[in-house]
Amino acid sequence: MEDKITVKNLSKIFGNNPGKALEELRKGKSKDDILGEMNHKVGVHEVSFSVRKSEIFVLMGLSGSGKSTLLRLINRLHEPSGGEIIIDGTDLTKLNKKQLREFRRKHFCGMVFQNFAILPHLTVQENVEFGLELQSVDKETRAAKALEVIKMVGLEGNENSYPAELSGGMQQRVGLARGLAVDADILLMDEAFSALDPIIRRQMQDELLEIQDRMQKTIIFVTHDLDEAFRLGNRIAIMKDGKIVQVGSAEDIISKPADDYVKAFVEDMDRSAILTAASVMHPPEDTAFIGDGPRTILRKIRKKGLTGILITNTRKELKGYVRAVELADYINQHKDSENIPMDEKLIHETAATDQNTPLSDIINLYTEHEYGPIAVTGDDNKLKGVIVKGAVIAALSESYSHPENGKSLDKNL
């Protein structure tokens, strides 16, 4: 996928002489030394990453990790102390004030803030029109566009309300709509949902995903909430002390944490919601073809030491599951015949799922279907892999906490 934003060695040091502090930092001085000796605070230190077009990229970290500073560096609300920010081929750090303003208008959908930052003296409609008004868009176009996004975020009927009359969730919708109204494609969100109560927050996350489906903006989302990061992020960057510790999908981060810090972070995550079928399935080696004939199939089952086997046709399309016990009985009944045909009744329907199904849903499949492993299939019904119970349990147990003492059973995994 195409890179929309590329950040190279980006740094931000707060103080009178950031250049000097950066130099000292490069020479190997620690952040604490810089703070102690020079009284300069290192906000972001030589960070590099890229954001792909139309993805939600989450910057995740505890407070003071530099995530909000990094977000503000990307549109130069904070002046970088060093490094490059390249958006659609333009290096933002090289622009003068006027060019930067033009660039912001063309490329950034403003910003969405934790405390909404909508204007108290304007109505919802006027607030949503704000970005367009700055660009001197004419009144009719402005109103039409505003109405369109007001509908999109579900604020219809509140166009003429003032922010003070709205709940927190609704105010944040105004903030979001204000960003979406502008004809630009990068949306920066700073702890956008952190001030909302959990149920509303969840709802807003869902709506953001829904809107993103339609709008396909490139979103950089800052949060300190891991659940939120994993729910929203196509990719997540975990930050610590002004640096990015790891960038990857939720699954990457859960299954291959880069260091102990990340590991400690993700320890308490509900893994079943994040890990998907793809991460626990085995390649479908142990399958039989429907044309193989009962004896061949049974031999195959016995050889592998299984209790049954998945059946496909020659195009690898899933047909069902055959149990060894039933198959053996069937063969016994027909032991005089040279060539017995396969009986359709022997092929049981089996649980099938696609690669992106989270484990939490897969567990339910086990309770619904009596026999066999779970088949993982693609859109074309072709078999992609097999999930056996053991693999699911193993994947989940990596973070399993004992209900009685609350301690992780296996810290080393």
Partner 1 sequence: MFSYRIPLRQWITTVVEYLERELGPAFDGFSAFVYFLVDNLKEGMLFLPPIVLILLIAALTWYMAGWKNSIVAFLGLLLSENIGLWEAFVETLALVLSAEILVVTVGLPLGIWSARSDRFNSILRPILDFMQTMPAFVYLIPAVMFFGLGLVPGVVATFVFALPPLIRLTNLGIRQVPIELVEAADAFGATEMQKLLKVQIPVARPTILAGVNQSIMLGLSMVVIAAMIGAGGLGEDVLRGIQRLQVGQGFEAGLVVVILAIILDRITAGLGVRKNAAK
The length of the chain, given as a count of residues: 413
39 versus 135: smaller Cβ distance to partner 1: 135
Nearest C-alpha neighbor of 274 from the set 216, 210, 213, 231? 231
What binding mask, one character per residue, do residues 325-354 give for partner 1 by CB under 8 A, x or -?
------------------------------
Kindly state the greatest CA–CA separation across the chain: 95
Q: Does 134 sit near partner 1 (CB under 8 A)?
A: yes
Q: Does 131 sit near partner 1 (CB under 8 A)?
A: yes
Site size for partner 1 (CB under 8 A): 30
To the nearest whole angstrom, how small is the minimum distance from the Cβ of residue 217 to partner 1? 14
To the nearest whole angstrom, how small is the minimum distance from the Cβ of residue 381 to partner 1? 48
Q: Does 88 sit near partner 1 (CB under 8 A)?
A: no
Contacts of 243 (CB under 8 A, 6+ apart): 44, 45, 46, 47, 66
131 versus 284: smaller Cβ distance to partner 1: 131
Integer Cα distance of 231 and 283 in angstroms: 27
To the nearest whole angstrom, how small is the minimum distance from the Cβ of residue 94 to partner 1? 17
To the nearest whole angstrom, how small is the minimum distance from the Cβ of residue 229 to partner 1? 22
Integer Cα distance of 112 and 228 in angstroms: 16
Which of 1, 144, 164, 199 forms a contact with partner 1 (CB under 8 A)?
164
Residue 215, Cβ neighbours under 10 Å: how many? Answer: 16
- Asked whether the beta carbons of 22 and 11 are under 8 A apart, the reply is yes
SS3 339: coil
Q: Does 111 sit near partner 1 (CB under 8 A)?
A: yes
Which of 9, 39, 115, 364 forms a contact with partner 1 (CB under 8 A)?
115
Structure tokens of 353? Answer: 């799922």
SS3 397: helix
Region at 228 (left for phi over 0; alpha for psi -120 to 50; beta for the rest): alpha
To the nearest whole angstrom, how small is the minimum distance from the Cβ of residue 55 to partner 1? 20
Region near partner 1 per CB under 8 A, out of 72-80, 211-219, 342-350, 386-394: 72-80
Integer Cα distance of 369 and 310 in angstroms: 14
Q: Does 80 sit near partner 1 (CB under 8 A)?
A: no
Q: Does 108 sit near partner 1 (CB under 8 A)?
A: yes
104 versus 384: smaller Cβ distance to partner 1: 104
What residue type is 359 in one-letter code? L
Which of 119, 195, 340, 347 forms a contact with partner 1 (CB under 8 A)?
119
The three-state (H, E, C) secondary structure of 207-248, written as one string: HHHHHHHHHCCEEEEEECCHHHHHHHCCEEEEEECCEEEEEE
Region near partner 1 per CB under 8 A, out of 106-114, 202-210, 240-248, 367-375: 106-114
Integer Cα distance of 268 and 133 in angstroms: 46
Contacts of 344 (CB under 8 A, 6+ apart): none
Which of 35, 86, 95, 117 forms a contact with partner 1 (CB under 8 A)?
117
Q: Does 165 sit near partner 1 (CB under 8 A)?
A: yes
Q: Does 188 sit near partner 1 (CB under 8 A)?
A: yes
Q: Find residue 49's DSSP bridge partners.
A: 7
183 versus 370: smaller Cβ distance to partner 1: 183
Interacting positions 167-186 with partner 1 (CB under 8 A): 182
To the nearest whole angstrom, how small is the minimum distance from the Cβ of residue 195 to partner 1? 12
- Give the neighbor-by-neighbor strand order of the sheet with 243-248: 108-112, 186-190, 218-223, 56-60, 235-240, 243-248
Interface residues toward partner 1, by CB under 8 A: 72, 75, 77, 101-105, 108, 110-111, 113-115, 117-122, 130-131, 133-135, 162, 164-165, 182, 188
